[in-house]
Amino acid sequence: MELCPNSGPFQFSNPCIRESWAAIVPAAVVAVLCLFKLPISIPARIQNVLGVNAFHRFLTLHEAEALDAASDDDSAAEVIEVTAKPPLWRTVLLSAICLLQAIAWLALASYRLITDPFHPSSLLPYVLAVPWIYASLRAILRPFSTPPFDLFALFVVHLATGLLMLGGVLYGHYVLDGPMAPPLILAGLSLNVAGVLIALGVVVNIPLGVPSSRVKESDIGTSVSPEDYTTLLKWMTFGWVVPLINLGTATTLHENDVWALSPTMQSRPVFIQFGRTARPSLLRQLWAANSLDIILDFGLTLVSVVFTYAGPFFLKRILDAIAADATPADRARAYVYAALAFGAQLAKAQADVQHLWFGRRAATRMRSELMAAIYDKALKRRDFSGLVDADKVSEAKERKKSAKERAQDKKDRKGDAGDDPKAGANTGKIVNLMSGDANRIAQMVSGAYFLYGAPMEIVIACVFLYELLGWSAFAGFLVLLVGWPLNSFLMKRSVRIQKGASTARDKRMAVINELVAAVKFIKFFAWEEQWIGRALDAREIEMKWMIKARMNSVMFSLLWILSPILVAVVGFFTFVMQGNELTVSIAFTVGVLAMWIGVAVLMRIMQAIALFNMIRAPLNVIPAWIVQILQTKVALDRIAVYLDEDEVSEQVSTLKKLNTGPPAADADADAALGIENASFKWNAVDEAKEQQKADAKAGKKGKDKKDKAKSRAASEATVVAPDAPADHQFELRDISVVFPDGKLSCITGPTASGKTALLMALLGEMTLQPGGGRIIMAKRPAQVDAHGLAHAISYAAQSPWLRHQSIKDNILFGAPYEAERYNAVVECCALQTDLGMFEDGDETEIGARGVSLSGGQKARVALARAVYARTKYVLLDDPLSAVDSHTSRFLFEKLLQGPLLANRTVILVTHHVELVLPGTYYLVRMLDGRIDTQGTVEDLRSQGVLDDIAQDEALEVIKEEAVVAAEAPVDPDAELDGETEPKPAGEAKKPRKMIKDEAREYGAVKWSIYNTYLRASSYWTWGILTLLIVVSQVLGVGEKLWIRQWGDAYGKDYETSIYSSFSAAEHQMALGGTLSNYHFQHLLRPADVSTTDFNLPRAQDHPLFYVGIYTAIGLAAAATSILSTIVQYTGALRASRLLFKGLLLAVVRATMRWHDVTPQGRMLNRFGKDIMTIDQSLAGTLQAVNGSLATFFAAILTVAYFFPVFLIPAFLVGLVYRSLAIGYLETGRDLRRMESNSRSPIFSGFGELLEGIVTVRAFSAEKRFMDDLHSKAS
């Protein structure tokens, strides 16, 4: 028995069909919801296979708050108290509405069952009552404080079906002239819609989150992000951002005007959760941490694509409905289709903003995860900073080989992943990973929706084409198969070029980093020109790779621009040769479809291809995004290789101890400091290991290749110790020493005998050779002995590492301030006289690397830092060599023999044996990497070797004093107060700040900024581009006119005057940091297009003539596009070269004072991220703006000529868009400026960390530096 006899499922004029949809769809929704809520336990293995875990939220709000409140990364998350009591009125109102709806439908069902028990539709009201019963029980049994998304989905479906039933009744009466429904039914349907609207209004006005005990409700929207606590309606419409936009429109935004990120997006909780999401590869780990947002981006993109094609779908039906022989019912149906088309566009707009939001969330979170992972790795990885450049050693070895050997090596390494990223990254490369590669990956994720939508666009477009042209529409796709080998070649070449460009960029950044670090010495020795030349040479190598990349991109563009044209030509040719006629209706419909799909076109190509524009769109997206994917893969591989580098042991890194839990029960056995029967070498990249990884990646399993790789790795070790010959690596051999607890021990020996290396070995900063040896060291900062000393280490390096802070902050180094201890340290380290010379005393900012201090002052500040820390073990690497003899004696008497170092194990490297001998308990003498002599001073004196040692070291002291700059003598007999006298309150003033905050522009971007780039890229470039844009617009109009002329050439007379008044569509696309706008012209009204005055051949007799002209216009448009791309690349390369050189000259030739007050990170930010923006995206952005402006004016002129009345509503709509655009531009510009300025401190701190990583690890300060990154990144 049929439910609705003699009616199709989409015959909505039938009340039975409408009621069936209104009953079945909500019931189906409830069935699905109940199915997912069944307590079914799915094994974890099956969940992984099915990908169920990908739909789980990576981090909830309260989980993020708990992680952020935890004391450390490994501690148990604190319990966040959330008191959520839903308002009673909400529960009562929703349950009442749902119960009334259920009762009403049950009553209707009972009435029908009594009056017509045998009609199948009598049961439909029973089915319709079931969803309302579910909703009422849901509201009563499980009251909610946050939006119930199941009820939201159910109410949306009820609203759609309710409007369908009510609208069907009104449509049947007013359009089809049917009888009006009884007033009771009309009132019931109206009340049904009103009830659903009220219930839906209640649900969408429920806040998304409930503030925890850590959040004050008054702070929401000021310092706390409203994103997590806004209502569902404001979240869907982004109304929670409106207050910020209004503020940004009214005034210039500052940091305190912008609320903090949501805890679910803040660096610290995100990275902690990311670290706990362990996966076999970095790609899988990133997917596990961002899968839900990416899936939502993917799904909503597909929804957007479907609604994009709903426009031409309904348009075709509108055109059919308003044909000349249409009835009034058909014309009324056109209004319904128009309303549906409008609704489809609203749904598309909502899907667009939501999928863009989820994509940007995933990209932002991914960038934060990668930056934190790179920073965390820098705190754990072995220090390779002192190693000889591997490439230079390789080049030297290569020059020694014969031509035959070089040819054989080249043959062996071809296809051997030789250009894959290698381990052992230097400072420049690490900074580049954080500033460039992490950003590239994030940009790929944020714009990947182009790839999501392309396959579906192709499928839908093919369906439309098949409906219009039949099988001939697919004949041209053979062209794509022919061009695929060339495409494959270009893809592989693109990967090689990207790897080469990344390596060249790393080397350029390494040179820049070296130059910036030593710029004062370079200026002092007048080496500016040499270093400028060196930097420009590195830049020129990078530019050569950029030129190769541009040429490859041009070839890609040529291939994928010509392919759609040839596809269209072959399709047209096949269609015409089959004897078909390309009528005006077909040409017009295809043209409209081309305009609608045109919003997704990757590059604005105004060509003469109307029919196959819908295929061209995704095909143009694919090649550029293939290049983006390949470049992203290179960036991901570079970061993965870096994150896979060797790390120091858990014994050395406190961060690794946090992740491995509490110390073992026998940890007290290592409650000393020393080395037991061990040998060490400087940290170096294991070339054989790296080669094996490359071989495994390339699938090399042949024994001969393995042997060849091993022999090559063994013979071509490219990383050697500092100052060591390339064929010899310095080693510490057979070291066994345990330093006495609570005593002063002295390490001495000739220059380059291994004294500093022994300290590095004690700190775990050298590679322990196999053989059963071990380091005796137990870092437990939380454990304090009877003297109040932590079981930790403090360290003063021979080359002092100081932070860009005040003297006081450098001495404290994160420890709490204790006035008495601090003053004692300042006194005993002979710093009082120096502080008295500074206007701001110990608040004096010393600048990067302590540039405002002398060598002796820096050494004593570093010494004071090591002494101030309450650590049991103090390692001092020759601090006396940087001061004169008077200061050395003062330091020995007041510090080394004073109370500050009492009961502490002090290990002092020095040549001043005679000076420190009276206070030394244990002495170690190094010679050629071995311990030559060791023992207590008394034992060595009794053996008669002490005098010889002291005499030998006295000669080294004479050499040191000859090169030490004269320090202000410190009178050991002078009266010292023991504390720094505070200044009177009336004289107190804020200390001067050496490094000022980075300058920030306000208001609109000045014309001079644009002009700088236009001039650098040449005005001729932009003049030619403007001309080509005009030519492109002309060809676009010519294409439409030719399609019209082609249809008219069949000799048919069309009386209908069809016109499309669709506004120009706009779509924004983020590709490589470029934000481009693509606009498309209005279609011309065929009746207004005048025919030619000369006779053209009939299309039936000469179809190939029209195909040929069509092809010629298409090829001209393709040539215009390629030519504009070449011109743009040429100008961009010129601008990149000139602007980099100008920036380099400005930095190198700046004054000493400028370098004193400008942090290194700020300069690296300019040479890194900003130069990358100029290289990769700025020219494309400006060209897109020019193209958009040209298309805009062309559209205005077209509308003004053919349909001037439309200018009035267009003007009003333009005013609305102008107000929205101004708010967005003002707010967005301020936010981007603040973001740019906030990057510099991150890179400055990162650069400082990389230089002083040994000191940071020695002090067990890694967690504090990690927390500092989180605070800056959030």
Query: For the segment 726-770, what is each residue's pLDDT rounded down to a tens digit?
Result: 445 788 999 999 999 999 999 998 888 899 999 999 999 999 998
CA–CA dist 204, 147 (Å, integer): 7
Q: Where are the alpha helices (DSSP H) in 742-876?
A: 755-762, 807-812, 819-828, 832-837, 855-868
**SS3 label, residue 1134:** helix
Bridge partners (DSSP) listed for residue 908: 746, 876
Instruction: Identify the top-confidence range among 70-84, 103-117, 1158-1172.
Output: 103-117
Does the structure show a pLDDT above 60 at 132?
yes
Q: Which two tokens stand for residue 652?
A: 């050395």
Q: What is the reported pLDDT for 144?
A: 87
pLDDT number for residue 28: 92
Quick one: average pLDDT of 414-433?
A: 63
Give pLDDT, residue 199: 94
* pLDDT, position 708: 44
Report how far residue 468's alpha carbon sits from residue 818's, in angstroms, rounded to the nearest whole number: 85
Output the pLDDT for position 777. 87
Report the Cα–Cα distance between both ends of the chain, in Å, rounded.
64
432, pLDDT greater than 90 = no
Q: What is the pLDDT of residue 405?
A: 55
Percentage of the chain exceeding pLDDT 90: 24
pLDDT of residue 1075: 32
Overall average pLDDT of the 693-704 stretch: 51
Average pLDDT over residues 229-253: 91
| Highest-scoring range by mean pLDDT, 31-40, 172-181, 872-881, 1214-1223 | 872-881
**Distance (Å) of CA 1158 to CA 517, 767, 771, 993:** 12, 36, 49, 11
Scan for tokens 């002078």, then name that residue: 974
Q: Helix H segments across 903-986?
A: 913-916, 937-943, 946-963
Neighbours of 194 (CB within 10 A): 12
Confidence of residue 396 (pLDDT cuts 50, 70, 90): low
The 8-class DSSP code of residue 146 comes to S
| 308-353 per-position pLDDT tens digit | 878 777 877 787 777 666 677 777 888 888 888 898 989 999 999 9
| The two three-digit tokens of residue 48, written as one number | 């992984």
Asked whether the predicted pLDDT for residue 606 surpasses 80, the reply is no
Residue 431 predicted with pLDDT over 70 = yes
Q: What is the dihedral of CA 781, 787, 788, 790, to 10 degrees?
A: -10
CA dist 1254 and 796 (Å) reads 10
* Strand partners of residue 780: 791
**Sign of the C-alpha dihedral, residues 1150, 1151, 1156, 1157?**
negative
Q: How far is Cα 925 from Cα 947, in angstroms, rounded to an integer?
A: 13
C-alpha–C-alpha distance, residues 632 and 626, integer Å: 10
CA nearest 1239: which of 1141, 1145, 1173, 1152?
1173
pLDDT at position 560? 72
pLDDT tens digits for range 985-998: 444 455 555 555 55
pLDDT at position 737 is 93
Least confident of 87-91, 302-306, 497-501, 1062-1066: 1062-1066
| Bridge partners, 795 (sequence order) | 875
Helix axis angle for 613-643 and 282-321, nearest 10°, is 170
pLDDT at residue number 982: 41
> What is the per-residue pLDDT across 1008-1045, written as a single tens digit (0 to 9) for each?
777 888 888 888 888 888 888 888 888 877 776 776 67
Measured CA to CA, the distance from residue 12 to residue 1017 in angstroms comes to 62
Q: Could you tell me the CA-to-CA distances from 233 to 227, 322, 332, 926 in Å, in that order?
A: 12, 38, 33, 74
Locate 1266 and state its tokens: 């990690």
Question: E-assigned strands of 128-183?
Answer: none
Distance (Å, whole) CA 133 – CA 129: 6
Cα–Cα distance, 1198 to 1037 (Å, whole number): 10
Question: What type of residue sits at position 805?
Answer: Q
Residue 219: how many CB atoms within 10 A of its CB? 13
d(CA 948, CA 965): 28
Q: Taking the CB of residue 1045, how many other CB atoms lie within 10 A of it?
A: 17
pTM score of the predicted model: 0.78
Over residues 954-969, the mean pLDDT reads: 54
970 vs 1222: CA distance, rounded Å: 65
pLDDT in tens, 661-684: 555 444 444 578 999 999 999 888
User: Could you give the CA distance from residue 1181 to residue 638 in angstroms, rounded to a whole number?
Assistant: 27
With a CB cutoff of 8 Å and minimum separation 6, the contacts of 1093 are none
Q: Structure tokens of 636? A: 């991901």
pLDDT at 1043: 67
Confidence category of residue 386, pLDDT binned at 50, 70, 90: low
> Taking Cα atoms as reference points, which of 1071, 1178, 1073 lies closest to residue 1132?
1178
User: In whole angstroms, how far apart are CA 1050 and each of 576, 610, 1045, 1055, 1096?
Assistant: 12, 18, 9, 15, 11
Q: Who wins on pLDDT, 607 or 580? A: 580
Q: Degrees (nearest 5) of the Cα angle 196, 197, 198?
A: 90
pLDDT of residue 851: 67
Cβ neighbors of 545 (< 8 A, separation 6 or more) are 497, 500, 501, 504
Kindly report which listed range (138-147, 300-309, 940-949, 984-993) carries the lowest average pLDDT score.
Answer: 984-993
Interhelix angle 1103-1148/528-577, nearest 10 degrees: 170
Note the residue count of the chain.
1274
pLDDT of residue 1061: 28
Question: What pLDDT score was predicted for residue 369?
Answer: 93
The backbone region for 6, taken as left when phi is positive above 0, alpha when psi lies in -120 to 50, beta otherwise, is left
DSSP three-state, residue 404? helix
The DSSP element (H or E) to which 1132 belongs, if any, is: helix 1103-1148
Q: Any idea what DSSP says for residue 892?
A: I
Domains along the sequence of the chain with CATH: 15-51+83-214 (no CATH), 426-450+462-639+1004-1202 (1.20.1560), 731-972 (3.40.50.300)
**Please, where are the H alpha helices in 381-426?**
390-400, 403-413
- Gyration radius from the chain CA atoms: 38
Is 1113 a residue whose pLDDT tops 70?
Answer: yes
Q: Which position has the higher pLDDT, 1077 or 821? A: 821
d(CA 400, CA 716): 12
Q: pLDDT tens-digit profile of 512-561?
A: 888 887 888 888 888 889 999 999 999 999 889 988 888 888 887 787 77
pLDDT over 80 (residue 1157): no
Report the range out of 14-23, 31-40, 127-136, 249-258 with the highest average pLDDT: 127-136
- In the predicted model, what is the mean pLDDT of the chain? 77
- What's the rounded Cα separation, in Å, for the pair 5 and 119? 10
- Whole-number pLDDT of residue 1182: 72
pLDDT value at residue 884: 85
- CB count, 10 Å around CB of 1074? 19
**Which is higher by pLDDT, 1235 or 584?**
1235
- Write down the pLDDT at residue 700: 46
Residue 414's pLDDT band, with cuts at 50, 70 and 90, is very low
3-state secondary structure of 94: helix
Helix (H, G, I), strand (E, B) or coil at 765: coil
pLDDT at residue 823 is higher than 50: yes
Label residue 1082 by pLDDT band (50, 70, 90).
Answer: very low
pLDDT of res. 1150: 87
Please say whether the beta carbons of 137 and 147 come within 8 A. Answer: no
Are 1048 and 1091 within 8 A, CB to CB?
Answer: yes
Tokens at 587, concatenated: 């040409």
Q: Are 672 and 720 in contact (CB under 8 A)?
A: no
pLDDT range class, residue 855, cuts 50, 70, 90: confident
Look at residue 576 in the predicted model and tell me its pLDDT: 66
DSSP codes joined into one string, 915-931:
HHGGG-SEEEEEETTEE
Number of H helices and number of E strands within the chain?
44, 13
